[in-house]
Amino acid sequence: MNYGSVVRDGVTLHYVECRAGAEQPWVIFCHGFPGLAYSWRHQLPAVASAGFNAVAFDQRGYGRSSRPTDPMLYDSEHTVGDVLGLMDHLGLSRAVLVGHDFGAAQVYNVTVRHPDRVMAVVGVACPYDFDLAGRGGAGANPPPGSAYPRAFARPDKAPSTCFAEVAAQHFYHMHYYQQPERPERELAQNPRLFLTRLFWALCADGHLLDWTRFSTEGNSYLDVLADPSIPLPWPWMTEQDLQTYVDEFTHCAPGLEFIGGINSYRVADRNWEIGRAWADARVTPPSLFIAGSADPVLQMIGDDALAVLARCSSDLRGIELIPGAGHFVQQEQPESFNRALLHFLDTLPARQ
């Protein structure tokens, strides 16, 4: 593997690449929260062995990349620009984009706004138009009287308003992150414990949604996350894996450990406004969706999310729900994930 960096608008993005050959197509991997380029450690060599060049980068606010503090520097215009800037740096006119969690929203945004730059797109864990700034496929101007059963992804209310309504009933992490300074301060007190509990809560064996038993008042995110029921190593994460995450998240000034994720939540309203111009757009390139069958994010979104994804996609070539995996499907079940991804890559025109 080779390491490099690209500077765009004063922000340095650190990346790792695994090349198959000068003329081979590229696959760009975009992580979410909590994540790093390291989150794709099982995919980069597998994709390169299959004849693609592969690259993953630490998002702005994470790892070895720059960590600006202004939330507005994390809006979708900036994160879309990060992908395009990396492509330009590598000399790519087009690439296959793979994105997990916040990275899924990112690659879908690139796809609908710059379809000429996207050979194909793979969303992981978060379906199209169900990110924190999405509208659940309702479009920019839904008919009067339309029902919006979800807590977020609505066209009629700003996301922060929706988050507050949920938080009036029980703890809700999306509302927690809207508060200035508090998340930075509280989560920085014990980054290792927070990462351990969050990784466990979101995996197939965890119980993230137990937060409904906690009130918003007086509780931090760390308070509502349970300790793992088994110690490390887990089947999908070693002690060294966790230590890598801890080291990379804390490679910063105090208080900036989780600024990338925190600010991605805080900019939800801004992204909702930006996204209005593309609210009726379809995902037109070849696409694939992969998620763990036990992913609590899918449980939060609702049963019709995958039907909406299919309706908004022109060339959806598969929906893969992988057993034995939660939110971190590419790490929890890497062999099954890679098999689905490589099969999809083999269907692309560049491989035929």
Q: Among all residues, which ones are annotated catalytic? A: 101, 327
Q: How far apart are the first and last CA of the chain?
A: 27
Q: In what order do the strands lie in the sheet with 2-8?
A: 2-8, 11-18, 53-57, 26-30, 95-100, 118-124, 287-292, 316-322
The partner residues of 13 in beta bridges, in order of sequence, read: 6
**14 contacts 37 by C-beta, under 8 angstroms:** yes
One-letter amino acid for residue 47 of the chain: V
Sign of CA dihedral 287, 293, 297, 302: positive
Half-sphere exposure of 114 (CA within 13 A, CB side): 21
Amino acid residing at 122:
V
Report the alpha-carbon distance of residue 23 to residue 48 in Å, rounded.
13
ω before 233 within 30° of 0 (cis)? yes
Write out the DSSP string of 177-235: TTSSSHHHHHHTT-HHHHHHHHHHHHSTT--GGGGGGS-STT--HHHHSPPPSSPSPPS
Output the CA–CA distances (angstroms, integers) from residue 66 to 26, 102, 225, in the order listed. 24, 17, 28
Q: Name which of 237, 349, 330 is nearest 290 in CA terms.
A: 330
Q: What tokens does 94 get?
A: 């087009």
CA atoms within 13 A on the CB side of 51: 9
Q: DSSP secondary structure string, 268-302? A: HHHHHHHHGGGTT--B-S-EEEEEETT-HHHHHH-
